[in-house]
Amino acid sequence: MEYRIAVIPGDGIGPDIVDQALLVLETVGKKFGHTFHCTKVLAGGCAIDATGNCLPQETIDVCKASDAVLLGAVGGWKWDNLPGDQRPERALLGIRKELGLFANLRPAMIFEELADASPLKPEILSGGLDIVVVRELTGGIYFGDRGTRDTDMGPAAYDVEQYSEGEVRRIAKVAFDMAMKRNKHVTSVDKANVLDSSRLWRRVVTEVAKDYPEVTLDHLYVDNAAMQLVRNPRQFDVIVTSNIFGDILSDEASQITGSIGMLPSASLAQGNFGMYEPIHGSAPDLAGQDKANPTATILSVAMMLRYTFGLSAEADTIEAAVKAVLAKGYRTPDLYTGEGTLVGTQEMGRCIAGEI
């Protein structure tokens, strides 16, 4: 088969890690007889430098004409002092909205070989960890009405949290469908003791649950969820939540694994279209030095093969290759604890490709 992929290397370590992901993609393609047509486009700081716009129209057009998007990372100090609406991060919000990427899947799992990396006590994690945070990605406070107005306490700024039933229903379905393929447990996170938008969220999620009688549904307030995640993370299977709560809790969940250089993510639209990226950022201090861990981006390619292209054997092959390379003791600097073989970005990519 032939597939079209828009590739956004972005800023910082983005180009370093994307190159290795493309090497792995090409290797899988050769093995299984697929051709991946990749078109590189600009977004983020590099796009600001080249065009004055963090998300050029051409980038949106190429993404829309593709079957999937692979993204490295965007942002860096260089652009940190630009006004909020011109920062590289805007490109991410813009691309999510333009492409209708409403469902963000952020797995937090612990690789057996890297269990020591977690900051939590081993007894809390014994038996492993495998959570998926399903974050609503195109609604809520990040996209709501915003503005400034005068108050008797001086000028005030506001951002509105709003969710429609339709927005909640479609993200809830993604979460329940995901739970059906996993351990059949959904935890919906909200702040229904305070927020009307959360009360609507809870009501709609509860309605959707009726179509999934095999799935157990719990509700947690977000403050309690943040606490439970470090107290007993193994109680979770699928966590479904709003854009802002998901932003925060997915960072917390990833930190529990201790290896954010290993974690991929998917942002899905209705249908099979999706954008795939590592959960970590652009780490500008490591850019171009062959030090970044390309594994999260390589595993993002596996997610792309599985979710957008329906190529599960190919995805399994990549995931198995990553495990094999870890088992052989290869470690990028972020994972290196003095044992095994220290390798750079490129060698890690070559090792994983070599296992395929």
Does the active-site annotation cover 3? no
Nearer Cβ to Mg ion, position 247 or 314?
A: 247
Distance in angstroms (rounded) separating the CA atoms of residues 299 and 24? 10
Question: Pick the catalytic residue: 11, 16, 190, 247?
Answer: 247
Q: State yes or no: residue 334 binds ligand IPM (CB under 6 A).
A: no
Query: Which of the listed partners (ligand IPM, Mg ion, none) does 92 bind, with a CB threshold of 5 to 8 Å by partner kind?
Result: ligand IPM
Query: Which of the listed partners (Mg ion, ligand IPM, none) does 42 bind, with a CB threshold of 5 to 8 Å by partner kind?
Result: none
In whole angstroms, how close is the CB of 220 to ligand IPM at the nearest point?
20
Side-chain half-sphere exposure of 329, counting CA atoms within 13 A: 6
Determine which residue in the list 136, 237, 247, 277 makes contact with Mg ion, applying CB under 5 A.
247
Closest-approach residue to Mg ion (CB): 247
For residues 134-143, one letter each, b for 16 or more C-beta atoms within 10 angstroms of the residue's C-beta and e for the rest, the string is bbbbbbbbbb
Binding mask 240-259 for ligand IPM (x = CB under 6 A): -------x------------
Query: Which of these segments, 85-93, 112-120, 217-225, 304-312, binds ligand IPM (CB under 6 A)?
Result: 85-93
> In the window 89-108, what residues touch ligand IPM (CB under 6 A)?
89, 92-93
Query: Which of the listed partners (ligand IPM, Mg ion, none) does 89 bind, with a CB threshold of 5 to 8 Å by partner kind?
Result: ligand IPM
Does the active-site annotation cover 223? yes
Query: Which of the listed partners (ligand IPM, Mg ion, none) does 93 bind, with a CB threshold of 5 to 8 Å by partner kind?
Result: ligand IPM
In whole angstroms, how close is the CB of 183 to Mg ion at the nearest point?
25
In whole angstroms, how close is the CB of 148 to ligand IPM at the nearest point?
21
In whole angstroms, how close is the CB of 257 to Mg ion at the nearest point?
15
Nearer Cβ to ligand IPM, position 174 or 209?
A: 174
Q: State yes or no: residue 136 binds Mg ion (CB under 5 A).
A: no
Does the active-site annotation cover 78? no
Nearer Cβ to ligand IPM, position 92 or 131?
A: 92
Does the active-site annotation cover 221? no
Closest-approach residue to ligand IPM (CB): 89
Which long-range contacts (C-beta less than 8 Å, at least 24 apart) are formed by 330-337? 332/261, 332/291, 332/292, 332/293, 332/294, 332/295, 333/291, 333/293, 334/259, 334/261, 334/292, 334/293, 335/114, 335/117, 335/259, 335/261, 335/262, 335/293, 337/116, 337/117
In whole angstroms, how close is the CB of 107 to ligand IPM at the nearest point?
14
Question: Pick the catalytic residue: 11, 190, 191, 334?
Answer: 191
Does the active-site annotation cover 247? yes
Number of residues this chain uses to bind Mg ion (CB under 5 A): 1
In whole angstroms, how close is the CB of 96 to Mg ion at the nearest point?
12
In whole angstroms, how close is the CB of 254 to ligand IPM at the nearest point?
10
Query: Which of the listed partners (Mg ion, ligand IPM, none) does 21 bind, with a CB threshold of 5 to 8 Å by partner kind?
Result: none
Q: Hey, what's the torsion of the CAs at 331, 277, 77, 345, to 10 degrees? A: 30
Site residues (vs Mg ion, CB under 5 A): 247
User: Active-site residue numbers?
Assistant: 142, 191, 223, 247, 251
Site residues (vs ligand IPM, CB under 6 A): 89, 92-93, 247
